C-alpha cells in the first residue's frame, strides 16, 4: 500500500486540531526530515490499557503500546500481522507507517485514576518496541513510565532500543521502589552479518549489551532475551556462546533463549527474506516449521546448548531453563519464556 493512502485505512480518527496538542507537526499525515521514507499517523486512542484474555495463557493481564509499526524492520517480527488489523500491510507498511497514539500519557493518567483499575502489572513492549527511534521525538514511553511510577503501578519493559538509557533516572527510582520489576533487552546474536540482515533498523547488539550493563549498574533488574534464535543462521554454538558470555559480563539478571516462531502472517514475510539471504535453508525451514513452532528436537537441542553455556560461564538461568528441555519434550510451546524480572517480566512469551 502507498503510505500516502494509509491514513484513509485507519480505524482510528486522525488528529485534526494542531493546536490541541503540544507536539510538533501534528496533522493527518506527518513526516519529519530525520525519518526519511517514514510516515507518522497521529491518532487519539480511546483506551491505552489493553486487556490480555486469560485464554492467551500469558503471565500478564495488561499491556500498553504507544506505537503501532516499528522502524526496526526485523525480518521475523511477530507483531507484523497486527498492522493488518489497521488495514495496512505487514511488510513495508509495518516498517514505514508508524501509528502514534499522541494522547497516550493523558489517557493513561485518566485510566489509572478510574475506580475500576486495580493496579495490575502492566507490560510494555509486547507488540512494537517502546524505545524505537520515534520515541526520541515523541517521548511517549518516558511519559508512560513516569505516570506508572508516580502511581506506584508495577510495570516491566522489553526493548531492543538503547534509547532506554535516556530514562535511567525514572527507571532506577521505580526499580528502587519495586515498581519497575525489570527491563529486558532482546539480543538474538552478536553475529554482525546476521544482525545486519535480520534487524536492519536496530541498534548494534554490542550497544545493547552496554545498555544492559548501564541498567544493571543503576540497580535495575536487566535481563537478556536471546531471541529469536534462528535455526541455521544464529544457532551455532560459537554464536550462542558469544551472546551468552556478553550478557553475563554485562551483569544480566536472567538469560532466556527463545527459538524463532513463524506464525501465520509472519511466515509470509520471513520466507521471501530467507530466500534472499540464505536460499539454501528454505526447504529445511519448511521441514523444521510444519506449524508455528520449530520441531521439538530442534528446540530442545538449542535450549540444551544455551543451558550448558550459561552453566559453563556461571551465569543466571531463567526458571524454566532449570528443568532442562528434555523434561518438556512433549510441550508444543517454546522451551523457555520466563525471566527473573517479576510477574510481568516475560513479555517475550508473545513471540
Q: Which domain holds residue 315?
A: 3-350
**Chain centre distance of CA 57:** 18
Higher-pLDDT residue of 215, 342: 215
Percent of the chain at pLDDT > 90 equals 74
| Number of domains present in the structure of the chain | 1
Convert the pLDDT of each residue in 29-72 to its tens digit.
688 999 999 999 999 999 999 999 888 777 789 999 999 999 99
Can you tell me the distance from the alpha carbon of 85 to that of 87, in angstroms, rounded to the nearest whole number?
A: 5
Buried b (16+ CB within 10 A) or exposed e, 284-303: ebeebbeeebbeeebbbbbb
DSSP states of 109-164 as a string?
Answer: HHHHHSTT-----EEESSSS-TTSTHHHHH-HHHHHHHHHHHHT--EEEEES-GGG
Q: What is the pLDDT of residues 294-310, one digit of tens each?
A: 999 999 999 999 999 99
Please list, in sequence order, all residues whose beta carbon lies within 8 angstroms of the beta carbon of residue 116, skipping any fewer than 6 positions away.
none
Distance, in Å, from the CA atom of 130 to the CA atom of 157, rounded to the nearest integer, reads: 8
Per DSSP, the three-state class of 20 is: helix
Q: How many CB atoms lie within 10 A of CB 27?
A: 15
Q: How far apart are CA 230 and CA 228, in angstroms?
A: 6
Average pLDDT score over the chain: 86
CATH of the domain at 149: 3.20.20.70
Quick one: pLDDT band at residue 235, thresholds 50, 70, 90? very high
- Residue 325 pLDDT more than 90? no
Q: pLDDT, tens digit, for every residue of 94-151?
A: 999 999 999 999 999 999 999 999 999 999 998 899 999 999 999 999 999 999 999 9
The whole-angstrom separation of Cα 65 and Cα 129 is 8
The pLDDT of residue 53: 87
Amino acid at each position: 500500500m502507498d503510505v500516502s493512502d494509509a491514513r484513509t485505512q485507519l480505524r482510528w480518527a486522525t488528529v485534526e486540531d494542531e493546536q490541541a496538542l503540544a507536539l510538533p507537526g501534528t496533522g493527518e499525515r506527518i513526516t519529519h526530515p530525520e525519518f526519511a521514507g517514514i510516515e507518522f499517523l497521529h491518532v487519539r486512542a480511546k483506551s491505552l490499557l489493553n486487556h490480555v484474555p486469560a485464554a492467551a495463557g500469558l503471565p500478564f493481564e495488561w499491556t500498553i503500546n504507544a506505537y503501532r509499526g516499528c522502524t526496526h524492520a526485523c525480518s521475523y517480527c511477530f507483531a507484523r500481522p497486527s498492522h493488518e488489523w489497521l488495514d495496512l500491510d505487514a511488510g513495508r507498511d509495518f516498517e514505514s507507517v508508524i501509528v502514534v497514539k499522541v494522547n497516550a500519557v493523558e489517557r493513561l493518567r485518566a485510566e489509572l485514576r478510574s475506580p475500576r483499575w486495580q493496579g495490575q502489572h502492566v507490560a510494555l513492549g509486547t507488540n512494537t518496541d517502546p524505545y524505537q527511534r520515534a520515541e526520541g521525538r515523541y517521548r511517549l514511553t518516558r511519559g508512560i513510565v513516569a505516570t506508572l511510577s508516580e502511581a506506584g503501578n508495577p510495570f516491566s519493559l522489553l526493548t531492543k532500543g538503547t534509547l532506554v538509557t535516556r530514562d535511567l533516572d525514572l527507571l532506577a527510582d521505580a526499580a528502587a521502589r519495586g515498581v519497575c520489576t525489570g527491563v529486558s533487552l532482546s539480543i538474538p546474536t552478536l553475529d554482525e552479518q546476521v544482525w545486519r540482515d535480520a534487524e536492519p533498523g536496530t541498534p548494534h547488539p554490542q550497544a545493547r549489551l552496554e545498555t544492559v550493563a548501564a541498567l544493571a549498574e543503576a540497580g535495575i533488574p536487566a535481563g537478556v532475551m536471546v531471541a529469536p534464535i534462528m535455526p541455521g543462521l544464529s544457532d551455532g554454538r560459537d554464536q550462542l556462546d558469544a551472546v551468552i558470555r556478553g550478557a553475563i559480563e554485562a551483569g544480566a539478571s536472567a538469560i532466556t533463549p527463545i527459538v524463532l516462531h513463524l506464525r501465520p502472517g509472519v511466515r509470509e514475510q520471513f520466507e521471501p527474506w530467507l530466500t534472499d539471504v540464505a536460499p539454501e535453508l528454505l526447504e529445511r525451514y519448511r521441514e523444521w516449521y510444519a506449524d508455528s513452532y520449530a520441531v521439538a528436537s530442534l528446540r530442545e537441542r538449542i535450549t540444551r546448548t544455551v543451558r550448558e553455556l550459561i552453566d559453563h560461564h556461571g551465569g543466571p538461568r531463567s526458571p524454566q531453563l532449570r528443568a532442562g528441555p528434555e523434561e518438556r519434550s512433549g510441550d508444543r510451546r517454546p522451551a523457555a519464556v520466563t525471566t527473573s524480572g517479576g510477574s510481568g517480566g516475560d513479555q517475550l512469551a508473545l513471540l
